């Protein structure tokens, strides 16, 4: 005969009351205030809208989005998609947006890496290293970004030699006043099997790691296929290379006449923006890293050192993972700030969204409402996308689930 288990509610514990809507919890006075505020805002927006409509009718301004299908009639110095002067304004908008996104993504990655190095250097026990890192942060943060972009574009890149006297790097890259010319990869017939082999090798390495963890959880015995995973990840691509040939070949730029031909040309405006935004953003990220590391209890690093770990392993495996809880939220704000700062590229003629669409297209079409609305909405969507991605990553690094 089995004993029945009876659950007795704990004394004094009551079921929480059902949650009500926010408006249901308000009193009459609060509802009156909130309603009056909403009516005032609606009246304000209605007045602005009616005023805009009246001015458009008075000035006979053309409205609508039909201009997006018309030929743009201008060239873009840097474009990642197929574009010519006969392309439409919509294609020009996409090309300019891609230039902005690529610039912001590259600068965010480089600024994060440099910022982590500078931030950790500020905490170095070597006084010289810490002083140099502190001087870098204070100097860069207190000089306006626009002046720094002017410096890199006019004072540094503007003084480079002409193409015939280019600065050569290992015979595969050349730097001059017209930009940076580098070797460009050219796809060969062996690229497809090589890509499949790389993907299969990485997938096999990940699956082996998953099976090793399952085996350890189920049996309590460690099974670490240390050599099988790397053998798959590197052996399969090597086999595909030897069987199908090289996946890519390289187009080396060569001097022909007064300029280089072949390879890939990177315009000087893009180089100036990369250098300027990276150095400027890294100064702010360094302070976030320093504050995040200082937020970790000192006993954590002391315990790691007591176990015999080297200092770099203590930072890499103990301190930094815990510091990410404090670093990630403000770091997302820095990424958004960096994206918005990329609009300053219009000052040095970098063909981004601000210069191409909100500048050239606006002057040619004469439709400011539509173009400025599209431009602002694009920046808004990009910033919100960064915020959503950062919040998702922030939830993963938090130790306490919410």
pLDDT at residue number 108: 95
Give the Cα separation of 320 and 301 in Å (integer): 10
Per-residue tokens: 104 = 């912001």
pLDDT at residue number 223: 67
Kindly report, residue by residue over 329-382, the tens digit of the pLDDT. Answer: 899 999 999 999 999 999 999 999 999 988 899 888 888 888 999 999 999 999
Per-residue tokens: 206 = 């990940």
Give the Cα separation of 310 and 37 in Å (integer): 60
pLDDT at residue number 208: 81
* Full DSSP string of 191-221: HHHHHHHHHHHHHHHHHHHHHHHHHHHHHS-
Per-residue pLDDT of the chain (402 residues; tens, 9 = 90+): 444 444 544 444 455 555 555 555 667 788 888 888 889 999 998 888 888 778 777 777 677 788 889 999 889 988 888 988 899 999 999 999 999 999 999 999 999 999 999 998 998 888 999 999 999 999 999 999 999 999 999 999 888 888 888 888 888 888 888 888 888 888 888 888 888 888 888 888 888 878 877 877 778 777 666 677 777 778 888 888 888 778 888 888 888 877 888 888 889 999 999 999 999 999 999 999 999 988 888 888 778 878 887 877 887 788 888 888 888 889 999 999 999 999 999 999 999 999 998 889 988 888 888 899 999 999 999 999 999 998 888 888 775 544
110, 278 contact by CB (below 8 A): yes
Per-residue tokens: 5 = 């288990």
Give the Cα separation of 103 and 275 in Å (integer): 11
pLDDT at residue number 145: 94
Long-range contacts of 332-337 (CB under 8 A, 24+ apart): 332/386, 332/387, 332/390, 332/391, 332/394, 334/111, 334/281, 334/284, 334/285, 334/288, 335/104, 335/108, 335/386, 335/390, 336/383, 336/386, 336/387, 337/281, 337/284
355, 346 contact by CB (below 8 A): yes
What are the residue ranges of helices labelled H in 62-177? 89-122, 127-141, 145-150
CA contacts within 13 A on the Cβ side of 280: 26
Does pTM top 0.75 for this prediction? yes
Per-residue tokens: 348 = 């040095």
Residues forming a β-bridge with 254: 261
Average pLDDT score, the chain: 84
Give the Cα separation of 112 and 99 in Å (integer): 20
Kindly report, residue by residue over 226-251, the tens digit of the pLDDT. Answer: 677 777 778 888 888 888 778 888 88
């Amino acid at each position: 005969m089995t004993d029945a288990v009876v659950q007795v509610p704990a004394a004094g514990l009551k079921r929480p009351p059902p949650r009500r809507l926010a408006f249901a919890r308000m009193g009459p006075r609060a509802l009156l205030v909130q309603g009056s505020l909403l009516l005032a805002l609606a009246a304000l927006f209605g007045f602005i809208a009616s005023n805009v409509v009246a001015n458009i009718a008075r000035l006979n301004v053309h409205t609508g989005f039909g201009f997006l299908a018309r030929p743009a009639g201008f060239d873009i110095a840097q474009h990642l998609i197929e574009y010519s002067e006969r392309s439409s304004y919509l294609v020009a908008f996409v090309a300019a947006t891609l230039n902005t996104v690529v610039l912001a993504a590259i600068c965010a990655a480089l600024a994060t890496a440099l910022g982590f190095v500078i931030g950790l250097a500020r905490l170095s026990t070597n006084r010289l290293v810490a002083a140099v890192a502190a001087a870098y942060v204070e100097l860069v943060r207190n000089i306006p970004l626009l002046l720094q972009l002017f410096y890199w574009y006019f004072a540094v890149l503007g003084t480079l030699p002409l193409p015939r006297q280019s600065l050569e790097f290992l015979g595969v890259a050349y730097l001059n006043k017209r930009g940076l010319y580098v070797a460009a990869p050219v796809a060969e017939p062996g690229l497809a099997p090589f890509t499949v082999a790389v993907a299969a090798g990485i997938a096999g390495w990940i699956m082996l790691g998953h099976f090793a963890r399952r085996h350890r959880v189920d049996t309590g015995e460690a099974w670490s296929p240390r050599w099988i995973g790397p053998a798959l990840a590197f052996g399969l691509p090597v086999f595909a290379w030897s069987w199908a040939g090289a996946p890519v070949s390289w187009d080396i730029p060569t001097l022909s006449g007064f300029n280089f031909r072949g390879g890939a040309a990177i315009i000087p405006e893009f180089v100036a923006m990369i250098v300027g935004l990276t150095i400027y953003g890294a100064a702010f990220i360094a302070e976030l890293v320093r504050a995040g590391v200082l937020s970790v209890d000192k006993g954590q690093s002391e315990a790691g050192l007591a176990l015999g770990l080297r200092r770099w392993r203590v930072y890499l495996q103990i301190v930094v993972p815990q510091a990410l809880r404090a670093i990630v939220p403000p770091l997302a704000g820095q990424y958004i700030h960096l994206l918005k700062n990329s609009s300053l590229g219009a000052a040095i003629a970098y063909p981004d969204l601000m210069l191409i669409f909100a500048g050239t297209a606006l002057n040619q079409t004469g439709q400011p409402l539509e173009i400025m609305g599209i431009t602002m909405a694009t920046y808004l969507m990009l910033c919100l996308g960064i915020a959503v991605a950062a919040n998702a990553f922030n939830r993963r690094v938090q130790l306490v689930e919410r």
